[in-house]
A and B are shown apart, each in its own frame.
Chain A
Amino acid sequence: MTVTRPGTEAAPAASVSPSPEPKRFRLSNWDARYTPYLIIAPFFLVFGIFGLYPLIYTAWVSLHDWQLIDGNLGFVGLDNYVELFGDAKFWNALFNTLSLFVLSTVPQLLAALGLAALLDRGLRGSAFWRAGVLLPNVISVAAVALVFAQFFGRDFGIVNFLLGLIGIDPIDWRAETWASHLAVSTMVMWRWTGYNALLYLAAMQSVPKDMYESATLDGAGRWRMFWSITVPSIRPTILFTVVTSTIGGLQLFAEPALFDPGFAANNSTGGSDRQFQTLVLYMYEKGFRLFDAGYAATVAWMLFVVVLLVAVVNFTLTRRIAGKE
């Protein structure tokens, strides 16, 4: 295929006898210019319908007194937002969300990095180990949450049983804020560490081996090579996982919801005193239990803003930290 630059078609037409050439050129020019857009258009079409439209509609709803069943009961401007900023339950949910996010994401990504480094060393039966670390991610979140909820049971839970063996009194995992955050974070880590490890592993395998060889000649140890060669080389992947984990972590719902036995009874507030109620759980409570769609939409929009902010901050921070080029 000939590549036509925009300049070529401006050649003086008078000197050339009329032929189909210029038209065809123009056509292929058009083709080269617009086909890529057309090809990605379906994505944006779908995104527009299922992403952008709900986003804008949610903003619209949040400016109204909007009840789930009865619908729009009138425009209230920013009243919902004003109420939200003075709502202690909102700030509590925000704190829980951020706390759960930090508690689960930081150890998770560090563990994934370590795990990937181990897998990268060419273990025997590597395919088995690689498939193995992904397994927790394949199992449905509901099943994982059910099992972990039993592990962290107060009366008959295995974690309390094990703690009892070393002389620690049983912990009511759903009653204490820190305990519940720990338990929920464990669930998240269990599900996502392997997944991120595989992403890191794929990136690590494309790091040129000669870099390690010359480093070895220079007398660098494993630890030094890991931090000075491996981590900077897989920086784009680390950035990617940080951003996706941020989005996922801040939208945490299923794990804390299913950890709360009250969720099935639909009176879940994420613990008896909202100890582990995340923003999404709070949104769910407002929208689907109290039927206040307008307020739930407001929470949703604030969540969107928070995710955006934290993602930008994390992106910048990670680029700095891993950014030795």
Chain B
Amino acid sequence: MSKRLVGSAAAAMVMVMVAGCGGGSQADGKIELSLGLFSDFGYDKLIEEYQASHSNIKIEQRKVKMEQHNTQLATQLAGGRGAADIVALEEGVVSQFRASKDKFVNLAEYGAKDLKDQWAGWKWNQGTADGGEFVLGLGTDMGSLGLCYRRDLFEAAGLPTDRAEVAKLWPTWADYAKAADTFTAKTPNVKFVDTARNVYKAILDQTEEGYFAKDDSYIAEKNDKVKTAFETAAALGTKQQTGALEPFSQDWNVALKQGSFATTTCPAWALALIKAGAGDAAAGKWDVTTAPGGGGNWGGSFLAVPKQGKHPKEAYELAKWLTAPEQQKRIFKETGNLPSQPKVYQDAEVQATVNEYFNSAPVGQIFATSAESLKPTYRGTKDSKVGPVFGTALTRVEQGKQSAAEAWTQALKEATDAAK
């Protein structure tokens, strides 16, 4: 009796485990494709359309938070099962996954190289390896840089509010810091910028090499640009001109609602986050202008196909369709995610797009101009391990726990460890 009980318990367990792991892929004769995404790629309508025109395909979207998505994907790749048929890789981590490219399908096998000219050259390169022979992912959007500011708070501080004049206020980040001083002198109770970390990140995203040289060697300690970016951002923190907020956190949302900071760095995808955080009450108060220091790219993603999937060909076809110019244009109109393809962002209709929430700012034109002039940063394989170290260092400065010099020294030491 008890033996049988053990037996059936074991059998039940095995069944549960099998049911848990097996991604049924042939229900009612259709090929099921899963799409592992984070935040809003704007694919809902497109997927319905694709299913309508491809009657043998059924698509399931899995959306989780980006950070969770990355960790999950790493464990799924390690375990050899569980990953979606198509997964999104964010620009900050794509280099890390590129190092494990043997877990992914080389999309060149399905002819991806023919699509090369659709994308901005740098975007295409970020998604490839082995000198372009291995195509890891097809580019979705990009995060060309702008700067968002509160018109009412600028007016209160006696600064210009017109976006062209505001842009003239800060051709460089040093000028931006000067504007911060003027602002703080007039309205000391409002923070000029949300966090030193985003300023630092934005400055660094305007250089071609950050922590790593293009040959993937670690150069953070001798790259003056990293140090300058850190010092510029840290100075804002030391002068208490930042809100010392964790970017895009709950506190950040609250601060947006309360209107407790006046500017924030704005990659194209950040507009939606600001709108969601600040709410309808702040409609028309925020505006977008060009960022100090010229163009830069922060964020944007790729669609890749893990090798463990059962239908690599169909997955590739879907990824190809979702990242095609026509679809990118539609996504831009719907969500504001900036296309990574010059032909699309130069399109007259895209250029003419305005964002009503941001005081009808001509976002199409602002971001496209920024995209034209941008110098993409080379992301080293260990970029995503090194970067956060400098972020927490800036937080220590903002918290008043360390001087800028102390924080820099500690960060360099930790970064060197992380880059090993």
Interface residues of A (CB under 8 A from B): 35, 38-39, 41-42, 45-46, 68-71, 146, 149-150, 153-156, 172, 174-175, 261-262, 264-267, 269, 272-273, 288-291, 293
Contacts and interface: CB of A to CB of B under 8 A. Distances in A.
A172 B401 CA distance: 11
Given A155-B260, A262-B392, A71 B6 contact: no
A146 B254 CA distance: 14
B3 A273 contact: no
A266 B401 contact: no
Kindly list the 5 A-B residue pairs having the minimum CB-CB distance in the complex, ordered from nearest: A266-B67, A267-B388, A261-B246, A38-B2, A272-B395
Contact of A272 (B9, B71, B399): B399
A42 B10 CA distance: 8
A183 to B, nearest CB: 14
Contact of B78 (A71, A261, A269, A272): A71
Given A156-B258, A272-B399, A266 B70 contact: yes
Q: Is the interface of B mostly helix, strand, loop or mixed?
A: helix
B16 to A, nearest CB: 12
Contacts of A293: 78
B247 interface: yes
Contact of A267 (B68, B258, B391): B391
Interface in B348-384: none
Nearest to B385: A290
Interface string B239-265: 000011011111100110010100000
A266 B71 contact: yes
Counting chain B residues whose Cβ lies within 8 A of the other chain, the interface size class is 35 or more
Contacts of A269: 388, 392
Nearest to A293: B78
Contacts of B71: 266, 288-289
Contacts of A272: 392-393, 395-396, 399, 401
A287 to B, nearest CB: 9
A89 to B, nearest CB: 9
Contacts of A155: 243, 251, 254-255, 260
Interface string B83-116: 0000000000000110110010000000000000
Contacts of A262: 246, 249, 392
A71 B74 CA distance: 11
B31 interface: no
A26 to B, nearest CB: 18
Nearest to B244: A154
B77 interface: yes
A284 B255 CA distance: 29
Contacts of A69: 74, 77-78, 97, 100, 103
Contacts of B246: 261-262, 265
A41 B248 CA distance: 50
A262 B388 CA distance: 10
B418 interface: yes
Q: Which of A69, A150, A264, A265 has the most CB of B within 10 A?
A: A69
Nearest to B399: A175
12 contacts: A35-B2, A42-B5, A42-B6, A45-B9, A69-B77, A69-B100, A150-B250, A153-B254, A155-B254, A264-B249, A265-B249, A288-B71
Contacts of A172: 399
B217 interface: no
A231 B369 CA distance: 75
A42 B12 CA distance: 12
Contacts of B258: 156
B67 A265 contact: yes
Contacts of A70: 78, 99-100
B51 interface: no
A146 B251 CA distance: 11
Contacts of B260: 155
B102 to A, nearest CB: 9
B75 interface: yes
B409 to A, nearest CB: 13
Contacts of A39: 2
Interface in B4-38: 5-6, 9-10, 13
Nearest to B246: A261
Nearest to A265: B67
A261 B249 contact: yes
Contact of B251 (A35, A175, A261): A261
Contacts of B222: none
A265 B401 CA distance: 22
A27 to B, nearest CB: 13
